[in-house]
Amino acid sequence: MTRLERWTVWGSTVLVTLSGVIYAWMKYLLHPVAEFAVINHPLQPLLLKLHILTAPVLVFAIGLIATRHILPRLAARIPTGRRSGLVAALVVVPMIFTGYLIQAVTHVPLLTALGWSHLGLGLLFGTAAAAHALAARLRRRAQSFSPWPAKSPRVNGLNERSTASQTVFENG
């Protein structure tokens, strides 16, 4: 991944996850300050807006890395960070789907089920993404301390640091 892709993915993941967790805490665990209050905390609408506005950036970021990072690594069966990345990749589609449906559905029992599903999938995605980032960081740290030159995994004829023009030059 390029530096821009990495920043876009992790920045949007952190913003969406934190805003969603704090919003859920405010909505489900706090009690309203007034008897007829619609919200439980004065910042609750702001957190919901932050969550809704940063979620499309996360969707864009996942699409940005899907063809160059996610799909090639699934096909190449690269072991490092595989489980956490696989969980995050499998959970992200239903998480996005339930997030959009929450904004369109009006039937209260279905809306409640979608809300709890979205919360559970979001927590699972955030945990898997954090584990994936930790696995990648540990792998990079282990490679930097190794006395031997690190070999980048080859994915579709490219290694992590090569470009398409280098591959054409190398392969003739």
The whole model's pTM is what?
A: 0.78
Identify whether 158 is part of a domain: no
Identify whether 159 is part of a domain: no
CA–CA distance, 134 with 112 (Å, rounded to integer): 33
- Give the type of residue at 78: I
Identify whether 86 is part of a domain: yes
Distances (CA, A) of 36 to 23, 26, 135: 20, 16, 47
> Looking at the 3D structure of the chain, how many domains does it have?
1
8-40, pLDDT tens digit by residue? 999 999 999 999 999 999 999 999 888 888 899
Look at residue 46 in the predicted model and tell me its pLDDT: 96
103-157, pLDDT tens digit by residue? 999 999 999 999 999 999 999 999 999 999 898 888 778 777 756 555 555 555 5
Note down the domain range covering 30. Answer: 3-147
CA–CA distance, 125 with 12 (Å, rounded to integer): 13
Identify whether 19 is part of a domain: yes
Q: Apex CA 156: angle with CA 86 and CA 161, to 5°?
A: 90
Identify whether 170 is part of a domain: no
Identify whether 81 is part of a domain: yes
Residue at token pair 């039937």: 107
Identify whether 153 is part of a domain: no
Label residue 74 by pLDDT band (50, 70, 90): confident
**Average pLDDT, stretch 78-90?**
81
Q: Which residues of 12-143 form beta strands (DSSP E)? A: none
Identify whether 164 is part of a domain: no
Is 101 a residue whose pLDDT tops 70? yes
Q: What is the dihedral of CA 130, 19, 89, 9, to 10 degrees?
A: -70
